[in-house]
Each structure stands twice: as structure tokens, then as C-alpha cells.
Amino acid sequence: MAMRLPGLPAALIAGRRHLGGLAGLPTAFDSGRFCPPHYGYGAKRLAKCETDEADTLLIGGGVYGNPEALDAIERRFQQERVLAGSTGQVRVVLNGDFNFLNATPQAWEAVNRRVYAAAPDGWSATLGNVEFEAARLGGLEFASGCGCAYPDWVADDVVRRSNEIVQRLRQSAFDAPTWTCDWLKTLPMYAACRVGTARVSIVHGDPLAL
């Protein structure tokens, strides 16, 4: 029988591993293998969220703190702007985990500043589990390792390394200028954009949770 958690549909808990440990609470070994309850939002909220509009929509996933990846997205963005002409609206949405391997205070600030500064040009971002955990948006009492919800078939060493990277990233975020975490707190867990007649929902995890 799946444990029902406040604010989360039973189907979500049955479909993803939310809690570990014998007492239903995460243990150190389970950290990184469960989906914390405060990650939930549900499909109804996703369907009702505010919708942007674009003629061309680029969604960048898994930048992982890589400035070269941001360079590549920027090049494609500029190419699409040329194709769209002066009246076309081109948008970029980074759907979370644009931080990860930028695990120094300087690299942390550089990546977040770059994404933040691109907003006037039509860039935006949603949270991923990495941002949520590194910036401690759930509070210390809800720290969930990397927050990755790795399934059982992923090797323990992979989970451990991910947790260690986010732990180091958390320290980098703490040592970096405070505006970075303050800005991350303003980002949504999901977004939507209308492209022509299509409404595109943008998530990091799935339609039910981060």
C-alpha cells in the first residue's frame, strides 16, 4: 500500500519512489533516491499556470553548469532570431538543473548571472532538483541529497556521487553572493508557452512533481 502524503496524488506516490527507510523516512543511504513531498504540484496546477507566447520556443535541459552548453544555446537562439525576423518572438526556457558542475562560488555566480541577465532577451528558467537542493529552498529539515529520485537500477556509486556534488554545490551557493539564491527562490517549478495553436507545458520532472 502506498503511503499517502499531504498535497500529493496517490498515483504520484505509487509511480515514483518518495520515501525510503524502514520507518518511511529517508535514510542517508536513500538520500538521492526519493522524491520529497514538497516537490509535488500536480497536473491541475500545471494546466492553469500563466502562459507565455512565442513563435519559436527553445527548451534547454541539463545544462549542468556548463558554460559551453550555454554558448551553444545562445548561438542557436541568435540563429532563430535571424530566421524569425524583426516581428518574430523567440524564447528560451531552461527547464532546471542549469547548475551542477559549477561547484565553486565563482562558477555558481557566473552561470546564474548569465541566465538571469538574459531575461530581457526572452530567456527564462524553471527550477530543477539541483537548484532546489543547492539553494536549500526546502529548508535544512527537508534536505534531500541531490533530490534526483534515482530508481533502484541506478548504481549506488552514481547516487553517492550526485549527492556529493550537490553537497559541494550547496556550499558554493552559500559562499556566493546572496542574490543568486534569492533569485532562484523566485523561479517556478514549471512553465507553459503557447507556440502557434499549441500550448507547451514545460517541466523538469514530470506533470506531477519536480
Average pLDDT over residues 30-55: 88
Q: For the chain, what is the HEC assignment?
A: CCCCCCCCCHHHHHHCCCCCCCCCCCCCCCCCCCCCHHHECCHHHHHHCCEEEECEEEEECCCCCCHHHHHHHHHHHHHHHHHHCCCCCEEEEEECCCCCCCCCHHHHHHHHHHHHHCHHHCEEEECCHHHHHHCCCCCHHHCCCCCCCCCCCCCHHHHHHHHHHHHHHHHHHHHCCCHHHHHHCCCCCEEEEEECCEEEEEECCCCCEC
pLDDT of the residue at 19: 36
Coil, helix or strand at residue 34: coil
pLDDT of the residue at 173: 94
Check whether 24 has a pLDDT greater than 70. Answer: no
pLDDT of the residue at 141: 53
Residue 202: in which H helix or E strand, if any? strand 198-203
* Edge-to-edge strands, sheet with 51-54: 51-54, 190-195, 198-203
Q: Which of 43-52, 71-80, 130-139 is most confident? A: 71-80
Check whether 36 has a pLDDT greater than 90. Answer: no
Check whether 30 has a pLDDT greater than 70. Answer: no
Backbone angles phi, psi at 199, to 5 degrees: -100, 115
pLDDT of the residue at 142: 55
User: What angle do the packed helices 156-175 and 105-117 form, to 10 degrees?
Assistant: 80
Cβ count near 27 (within 10 Å):
13
What pTM value is reported for the model? 0.84
Least reliable range by pLDDT among 10-24, 73-87, 137-151, 171-185: 10-24
Residues 156-167 have pLDDT tens digits of 999 999 999 999
Binning pLDDT at 50, 70 and 90, where does residue 22 land? very low
Mean pLDDT over all residues of the chain? Answer: 85
* Of residues 180 and 4, more confidently modeled: 180
* Grid coordinates given for 179: 542574490
pLDDT of the residue at 144: 63
